Structure 1
Amino acid sequence: MNGGQRRLAAILAAGFLLILATVTIGNAESMISDFAAAGLHETRVHIWTWELTSVTGWLAVAPLLWWSAARFRPPRTDWRIALAIALAGLPLASVLHVAAMIGLRHVAYAAMGEHYTFAGSLADPYLYEFRKDAATYLQFLGTAAVAQWLLERVRNPGGQDIAPSPPHAPAMFTVNDGSKRFLVPVSTIEHVSAAGNYVELHADGRTLTHRATLSGVEKELGETFVRIHRSRLVQRAAIRSIETDRSGDFLVELDSGLSLSGSRRYRDLVVGQPVPSQ
């Protein structure tokens, strides 16, 4: 992240935590009032324990939701596929939340010398929690997607824009990895690095070794890939952000979250503007 992104991230995190704290206090105090109005005896400590363990459970699940939003949100993924993945993730998120919440409550009650029972007076406590979890899940996932979109809108130092990706590239790339031959969709290749008399292609989370020079692979892949270092190519469309230091060297962050160093010599090819003289 550059300085502007870090500041924005701090503001978004503070706002999120403020809203979360406000909602938590409101829920706990409302539940205390509801119990009192219904003539049911329940201690404030128990009710606050329920709320805090529920919130903590969601915070434990939040990194997974953040990763999901970064990996599958539109336009990176077709919105129909993204929606299907989001809906499929709801039961998993709910299970993880409930498991974390129950575990924390058992620990909290044991610390008070008491025993916690999840069911309580509810006929189906899991269905009850799932209905509540659905709304919270969508809020957390939506917040992650919007926050990431805002962070990507923050300009790099000097107002640099990533150079647009040229339209033409081969659909498949043939990789000779030892005695095996692979046909790799070019769109899945994130970056390519030199390794002696070979190159390593990083695609879909796997690394394939191909006997060729980096210059030869660069010509084959076409201008949808850009050289950021004498030993490294990256796919233009996979670049999320660029951060330049005072020397003119830069750091490229890819959609996968991986950060790769780039040389000042190649920066103008990536950001689409001349390198300032020193």
Structure 2
Amino acid sequence: MNGTQRKLAFGLAAGFLVIVAVIMIANAESSLSDLRANGHFLRADLVWSWECTSMIAWFTIWPVIWLAVKYIRPPRFPWVAVGIALVIGSAIASAWHVLLMIWLRHLYYSATGAGIYQFFDGIENKPLYEYRKDIGSYLQFVGLFALAQWLIARAGTVPVAEAGAAKTLAVGDGAVTHHVPIDEIESVASAGNYVEIAWGPRALLHRATLAAVEAELGDAFLRIHRGRLVRRAAIRRIETDKSGDFTVELASGASLRGSRRYRPAD
């Protein structure tokens, strides 16, 4: 990520954590108020432990949800597969959240001499009850993470200095920095800690990840393989094999192999 993206990511993460903390405080205080109104004077720290253990359990799941949102998405996967993954992911996330939350509460109750924590407290079919609550939180996290990733990727695009000015990609080559017009780049391939940029007859090595360059180049480029991008306008012919893999012929005459997972729509 570039500097702008890092600042945005930090700001979004800080804002997200502040919102989570506010929700946790509101839930804990509301639970205490409701219990007292009904004549139940439970220790305040126990009610707080419920909220804290729930958030700790969700905290361990957030990185997995973030990665799933990042990689299991169209056009890499069809919408049906994304929907199925979303449903399966909600069940797995809820199960992990509930089991870890219960275990942490048992530990807290035991450590503070509060007795044994009772999860099945009279609510019929408690696992289903918890799943119905968890799916709302899960979908909110998925939506927020998708929005955050879109904003971060958008912040990585090259700004246009003047209306109608050509976008360029700054590529360092020793003491020289090339400002390569994006519409002259034919393809970009991953090469270890670098990417190899096909610019006319030249091949420039640029120290960056393919994902970062993809975000910087924008929608003018298409990923045809886990380690390769091509400029859409440079594609002249696509030949698909029986396996679903394909070969892309570019304007320069170069032929590049593509994976069926990234096959462009016809």
1:15 and 1:257 mapped to 2: Cα distance? 32
1:70 matched to which residue of 2?
A: 70
Confirm whether residue 131 of structure 1 aligns to residue 132 of structure 2: yes
1:106 Cα deviation after fit: 1.4
1:95 matched to which residue of 2?
A: 95
Runs of at least 5 residues in structure 2 that lack an aligned partner in the other structure: 161-166, 170-181, 218-222, 228-266
Confirm whether residue 150 of structure 1 aligns to residue 151 of structure 2: yes
Q: Contact 2:66–2:145 (CA<8 Å) still a contact in 1? A: yes
Distance 1:80 1:33, change over 3 A: same
Q: Contact 1:2–1:156 (CA<8 Å) still a contact in 2? A: no
Q: Contact 2:70–2:149 (CA<8 Å) still a contact in 1? A: yes
- By relative contact order (CA 8 Å, sep 6+), the higher-ranking structure is 1
Q: Aligned with 1:74: secondary structure?
A: coil
2:40 matched to which residue of 1?
A: 40
1:81 Cα deviation after fit: 2.7
1:20 Cα deviation after fit: 0.4
Q: Contact 1:102–1:118 (CA<8 Å) still a contact in 2? A: yes
1:121 Cα deviation after fit: 2.7
2:29 matched to which residue of 1?
A: 29
1:105 and 1:256 mapped to 2: Cα distance? 46
1:45 Cα deviation after fit: 1.1
Report the more deviating stretch, 77-86 or 64-73: 77-86
TM-score, scaled to structure 1: 0.59
1:46 Cα deviation after fit: 1.0
1:140 aligned partner, one-letter code: F
Q: Contact 1:28–1:47 (CA<8 Å) still a contact in 2? A: yes
Q: Aligned with 1:22: secondary structure?
A: helix
Q: Contact 1:155–1:161 (CA<8 Å) still a contact in 2? A: no
Q: Contact 1:65–1:141 (CA<8 Å) still a contact in 2? A: yes
Distance 1:257 1:13, change over 3 A: farther
Equivalent residue in structure 2 for 1:240, among 172, 189, 214: 214
Q: Contact 2:154–2:215 (CA<8 Å) still a contact in 1? A: no
2:168 and 2:35 mapped to 1: Cα distance? 56
2:108 and 2:87 mapped to 1: Cα distance? 32
2:4 matched to which residue of 1?
A: 4
1:53 and 1:87 mapped to 2: Cα distance? 24
Counterparts in 2 of 1:151-230, with a 5 A limit? 151-155=152-156, 163=182, 191=190, 229=205
1:240 Cα deviation after fit: 3.3
In the alignment of these two chains, the number of paired residues is: 196
1:57 Cα deviation after fit: 0.5
1:100 Cα deviation after fit: 1.3
Q: Aligned with 1:229: secondary structure?
A: strand
1:6 and 1:191 mapped to 2: Cα distance? 22
2:51 matched to which residue of 1?
A: 51
1:37 Cα deviation after fit: 1.8
Q: Aligned with 2:41: secondary structure?
A: coil
1:94 Cα deviation after fit: 0.5
What's the Cα RMSD here? 3.8
1:42 Cα deviation after fit: 1.9
2:112 matched to which residue of 1?
A: 112
Q: Percent of aligned positions with the same letter in both sequences?
A: 37
Report the more deviating stretch, 40-49 or 75-84: 75-84
Q: Contact 2:156–2:212 (CA<8 Å) still a contact in 1? A: no
1:105 and 1:10 mapped to 2: Cα distance? 31
Q: Contact 2:156–2:216 (CA<8 Å) still a contact in 1? A: no
